[in-house]
Amino acid sequence: MEIPGLGTVTEDEYESLVSAPIPVSVLGGVSLPFHVDGYADDPAPEEFHAAVRAFLALDRTALDAAAPAVFDYYRHMGEIFGDELDDFPRIAGPAEVWDHVTFARHEVTVSRDGEGEPVYVSLEAECEWEVEHGLQVVFRDGARVTKVGPYDGHLTNDADVLYERF
């Protein structure tokens, strides 16, 4: 099967459609596979195409705009663990937060949160301040970051905020 923007995709053991690794501009050109969930049975596959197209067109400014929320996540984890861990990173501000995040070992997930909901693009990453749960960055319609925080697999927060303390 072909998905515009992703090329040929194959079905994995979890019934996700998976692309070959594709360079992602917002991540500085890191190539990651895309996992697309719910596409084959979706009544509006063009919304998936639009989300993928929007996401692939983003540049680093999309992550820079989310840096203050990611820094809030870092500070919250510092309040919990900072004094207990010798190797807890010291990050001076939002401008430095992405230096402590690694996206390269994961994939991009494209899916809906439910029928009739927008299409979201979700990134999972490793971060130095929360090695167990990492970092999740979610882009609504592939166009703008609408959620950051520990990776929990959810595409939205209960509140209308980028980072919600858990």
Question: How far is residue 149's CA from residue 135's CA, in Å, rounded to a whole number?
Answer: 5
pLDDT of residue 80: 87
DSSP letter, residue 95: G
Distance CA 92, CA 111 (A): 34
pLDDT at 86: 79
pLDDT for residue 164? 59
pLDDT, residue 166, reads 43
pLDDT tens string, the chain, 166 residues long: the values are 999 999 999 999 988 999 999 999 999 999 999 999 999 999 999 999 999 999 999 999 999 999 999 999 999 999 988 777 778 999 999 999 999 999 988 899 999 988 889 999 999 999 999 989 999 999 999 999 999 999 988 998 866 567 755 4
Residue 158's Cβ-side half-sphere holds a number of Cα atoms within 13 Å equal to: 3
Structural domain boundaries in the chain: 2-149
pLDDT at 64: 95
This prediction's pTM: 0.92
